[in-house]
Amino acid sequence: MGLVTCVAMARLGHEVAGTDTDPEKIAELRDGRAPFFEPGLREYLAEQMASGRLRFGGRARDVVPTAEAVFICVGTPPTAAGDANLAAVERSAIDVARSADEGMVVIEKSTVPAGTAERVKVTLARERPDLEFEVVSNPEFLREGRALRDALEPHRILVGADSPRGLEVMRSVYEPLSKRGIRLIETDIRTAELAKHACNAFLALKISYANALARICEFAEADVEAVVDVMGSDPRIGREFLKAGLGYGGYCFPKDLAAFERFTRKLGYEFPLLAEVARINEEALEATLEKVRDALWNVEGKRVALLGLAYKPGTDDVRFSPGLALARRLVALGAVVVGYDPQAGEGAKADVPDLELAPDAYAAAEAAHCLVVCTEWEEFRSLDLTRLRSAMVYPVVVDGRNLFDPRAMAEEGFTYYPTGRPPLPPDLRGT
C-alpha cells in the first residue's frame, strides 16, 4: 500500500519521497525495481522516478523535513489474540516527529482501530511539543492485483479530519481526483477509522455468506453460482464478493475481521457474527480438503497438485493464502504436494518448504492423483483439459474456485468436484 500510494501520488502530480525501515527494499526501489509483483507497478514506478517527482530515502530524516503531508502506510499485523499490533504505527509517528523541522499533516492510511489517530497525536506531541501536527485518517480501499487502478480511480476517497487545516490539506492532495468527479467523503477521524473496518468485515461477511450457501447447495443439489446470480441481480444485494470458493485470505480480511471483533468486545459490544464469518471461512477450506479425501480415500503417499498458491489472482502475495493453508494440511496428512503459481511460487515455497514447485500447470499435473484449483488465475481458464488429464494418474479435479465448466469436465472424463454446485449438468445426471 505504501509503494502504491507513492506511485499514485506522484502520478497525481505531487512531489513524493518514500522511505521504509528495510534498507534492501529502498535499495531495490532506487534501482527502479518493485519488491513485489503488482500489475503495472514496475512501469509506473519507472515512469514516476524518471519524471523526478518520485524518490526514495533510507531514513525518515531523508524524506520528512520538507513534507507538507506524511502518509503512514505501515502494517498492522495481528497479535496472537487477534488485536491489531500498532507498534509500527507508533514507531512511524516517533520517526516523523523526530525528523520534522516543522509541523505537518500526518495521514494515517494503515488500517487501525478507531481511536488510533488520537494516540498518534499524543505521540507526536510528546516527541515534539514545539511543533503543531495535524492528524487525519485516510483509509485505503485498494485491492491487490488492481492496486494502481483502485488508487487512481477509486470508488470514493474517505477522509476523517477533526480540524479545518487537516481537511484543507487532504482536499488539495486529492484535488486531481475530486476534480474528475470522484467523491471525497469527509467525516470525523474515528468514523473514518471505523468505516474501514466495517467495510472489510462486511466484504468478508458477503464471501462467507456465499460459502455457507455453497455448502447448503451441495447438500440440496442446487447450484450456488446460479443462486448468487439471482441474489446479485438485486441491486440492494449486488453481485460482487459473492463468489464461493475455498475461502478468503490475504493480509486484510482475516486480520481486520479479528481486530474489529476484538475492538468491539473491548467496547463492551459482543459481535459474534464476525467470529461466525471467520468460522465459515475455515469451514470452506475444510470442505475442500474433505473433497480431496473423498476422491483419494487415503491421502498419504498420493500426489496432489495445487493450481494457484497466491491468496488471489494478480498478486505474488501468499499471506493467509487458502491454497497454502490447504498445502500445509495435505502435507500433514502425508500427501506429496506440488504447486504451480504464475507469480507466487517462491513465496509459497519459503512458507511451506515441503511444497514441490512446478514450472507450469501441466508439469504440476504430471503423475498427480488429484488436482485442486486454489486461485483462479486467468491463464488456468484456457488450459488444454485433454493434456491435463493425460498427465494425471487419476483424473480428479477439485475446483476450489469454480473455474471450470462442469460439462467440459464431464466430457473430458474428469471426476469433478466443484464448489457448491452439482458436478454434472442436469442432462448428464441421469435418474
Nearer to ligand UGA, 216 or 393 (CB): 216
Helices (H), 221-321: 224-232, 253-266, 272-296
Q: Which of 4, 65, 420, 25 lies closest to 228 in space, CA to CA?
A: 420
Can you read off the three cell numbers belonging to residue 162?
A: 477533526
Residue 242 makes contact with ligand UGA by CB under 6 A? yes
What CA–CA distance (Å, rounded) separates 288 from 303? 16
Q: How far is CA 222 from CA 242, 268, 412, 426, in A?
A: 16, 40, 23, 11
Q: Name the minimum Å distance from CB 10 to ligand UGA.
A: 20
Residue 241 makes contact with ligand UGA by CB under 6 A? yes
Residue 245 makes contact with ligand UGA by CB under 6 A? yes
What CA–CA distance (Å, rounded) separates 302 from 322? 20
User: Are the beta carbons of 201 and 277 closer than 8 angstroms?
Assistant: yes
Among 174, 263, 311, 404, binds ligand UGA (CB under 6 A): 311
Q: Name the minimum Å distance from CB 146 to ligand UGA.
A: 8
Amino acid identity, position 181: G
Among 55, 243, 319, 389, binds ligand UGA (CB under 6 A): 243
Site for ligand UGA in 125-164 (CB under 6 A): 140-144
Amino acid identity, position 408: A
Phi, psi of 399 (to 5 degrees): -100, 95
Nearer to ligand UGA, 133 or 209 (CB): 209
Per-residue x/- track, 85-124, ligand UGA (CB under 6 A) = --------------------------x-------------
Q: Beta partners for 78?
A: 84
Q: How far is CA 300 from CA 296, 324, 338, in A?
A: 9, 18, 14
Q: Name the minimum Å distance from CB 195 to ligand UGA.
A: 12
Catalytic residue among 6, 217, 252, 370: 252
What CA–CA distance (Å, rounded) separates 388 from 395? 9
Per-residue x/- track, 188-227, ligand UGA (CB under 6 A) = ------------x--x---x--------------------
> How many Cα atoms sit within 13 Å of 61 on the Cβ side?
1
Query: Does residue 252 have an active-site annotation?
Result: yes
Q: Name the minimum Å distance from CB 115 to ligand UGA.
A: 18
User: Are the beta carbons of 217 and 224 closer than 8 angstroms?
Assistant: yes
Nearer to ligand UGA, 128 or 312 (CB): 312
Q: Name the minimum Å distance from CB 57 to ligand UGA.
A: 25
Residues with catalytic function: 252
Site residues for ligand UGA per CB under 6 A: 111, 140-144, 200, 203, 207, 241-243, 245, 248-250, 252-253, 311-312
